[in-house]
Amino acid sequence: MSGGLLDCRSQFPALTRQIDGQPAVFFDGPAGSQVPHRVASTISNYLLNHNANHGGHFATSRETDAWLLEAQRRLADFLGASDPGLIVFGANMTTLTFAVSRAIATRWKPGDEVIVTRLDHDANVTPWVRAAQERGATVRYVEIHAEDCTLDLDDFKRKLSPKTRLVAVGCASNAVGTRNPVKEMARFAHDVGALVFLDAVHYAPHLLVDVDDWNCDFLVCSAYKFFGPHVGILYGRRELLEELPAYKVRPASESLPDRWMTGTPNFEGIAGAAAAIDYLVDLGRNASRLLRKKPKAGEQHRHDLIHAFFEIAEYERELGARLLSGLTELKQVKVWGITDPERLHERVPTISFTHKKLSAKEIASQLGERGIFVWHGNFYALPLTEALGLEPEGMVRVGLLHYNTAAEVDRLLTALREWE
């Protein structure tokens, strides 16, 4: 490992686990990453020493208010948002997306159109399909290029029209790792007057999110994918968060972000999410020192996050290239998605494959017995597996993160070679 990543594994207690005398290999990150010790200790500290509802006139409630505000600042830094007040916490990405889709759909009418894609996780498809059905709007799907599992951008442009009210697209595929050109897609969508809703759940652990630069209207992600607990995060434009009808009980606050945080928030989880950002900031701070660059006043955390994700992306690209090179040498294996070494910048190191002799479930089961943790199935990317003709079997998914190693990749490849 390089730069600020040198000691990261020591911060993750789970990585010391043994299966039959061998270290466990955690390639299951796309379904939920492991967490550094500080995340668990922060959650414990909050619950044991500061636990209260917010808005009260006593010590623990004031402390909870302070924790919540600080978490908003941390997540704003993480997402590249200039205004921490636009950060909303919820149960998870799916719940937040259903809430926003219901609110946005109040503005739709028969004849309006909504665009989703065949490459997305279903949590960024079905909420919009259901909302459109209820309002009599039409759903249009952006097709894919099956040979490399990329979006057909020409098809996207053809389907945009003055009738388009919203474009929902993922920043990166949780099944095959494809990165989508979301900044460009947002520009085209805005040209026809459509809103843009981005799913960054799978993108956020690998690459730097930048909502201000991408000019999206909404973005969602989940802390448990970027080394935190099970908390969903929503960013939205202020005028939209203030004007859209939020479905919640009376007499809840209408101020932001409270009007979108239905019920009592998961304060301990929110504290843990902030701690996950602190972990990434520290990674970047080490790298920043090596590069001898100083941030502008008030931009220290974002500066450190930029360097953290530079290090993460470089390391993960090398690791992904190693895995892809080994997989493409196996005659029984078909990798789905981008495999060209010259195009690795177009993907994250989430790599899915099928095997000619063994089912995805059989491979996942046999690898699991050897202490190598991978997922099988469709990973809720059902529009994609349907388009590829892989239902109901699905694929084997190997998710690399910056705490994984070349030795772990080699161990996986050694096991797969036995089944050639």
- The string of pLDDT tens digits covering residues 148-166 is 999 999 999 999 999 999 9
Neighbour tally for 216: CB within 10 Å: 27
Check if the beta carbon of residue 406 is closer than 8 Å to that of residue 319. Answer: yes
Closest CA to 312 of 38, 22, 33: 33
Q: Are 135 and 108 in contact (CB under 8 A)?
A: yes
DSSP per-residue letters across 236-277: E-HHHHHHSPP---TT---STTGGGS-SS--HHHHHHHHHHH
Q: pLDDT tens digit string along 25-77?
A: 999 999 999 999 999 999 999 999 999 999 999 999 999 999 999 999 999 99
- Cα–Cα distances in Å, from 275 out to 50, 78, 118, 212? 15, 12, 34, 23
Per the omega criterion (within 30 degrees of 0), is the bond before 257 cis? yes
Q: What is the pLDDT of residue 231?
A: 98
Which tokens belong to 139? 């759903």
C-alpha 339/C-alpha 331 separation (Å) is 15
Report the predicted TM-score, pTM, of the whole model to 2 decimal places: 0.96
Q: What is the pLDDT of residue 131?
A: 98
Q: Residue 255's pLDDT is what?
A: 87
Which residues have a Cβ under 8 Å from the Cβ of 270 and sit 6 or more positions away?
A: 67, 68, 71, 89, 231
Residue pair 8/404 in contact (Cβ under 8 Å)? The answer is no
- Would the pLDDT of 169 be above 80? yes
Helix, strand, coil fractions of the chain, as percent rounded to 5? 50, 15, 35
At residue 287, the pLDDT reads 73
Q: Please tell me the predicted confidence (pLDDT) of residue 187.
A: 98
The DSSP element (H or E) to which 333 belongs, if any, is: strand 333-336
Q: For position 300, what pLDDT does the model report?
A: 86
Across residues 192-214, what is the average pLDDT?
98
Q: What would the pLDDT profile of 282-332 be if each residue is shown by its tens digit?
A: 999 887 665 556 666 567 899 999 999 999 999 999 999 999 999 999 999
Give the pLDDT confidence of 70-106 residue by residue, as tens digits: 999 999 999 999 999 999 999 999 999 999 999 999 9
The chain-wide mean pLDDT, for the chain, equals 95
Question: Does residue 111 have a pLDDT over 60?
Answer: yes
* CB distance 372 to 413 below 8 Å: no
Q: Return d(Cα 248, Cα 63) in angstroms, integer.
A: 25
Domains of the chain: 3-36+303-417 (3.90.1150.10), 41-274 (3.40.640.10)
Q: Write the pLDDT tens digit of every residue in 211-257.
A: 999 999 999 999 999 999 999 999 999 999 999 999 988 876 788 88
pLDDT per residue as tens digits for the range 378-401: 999 999 999 999 999 999 999 999
Q: How confident is the model at residue 7 (pLDDT cuts 50, 70, 90)?
A: confident
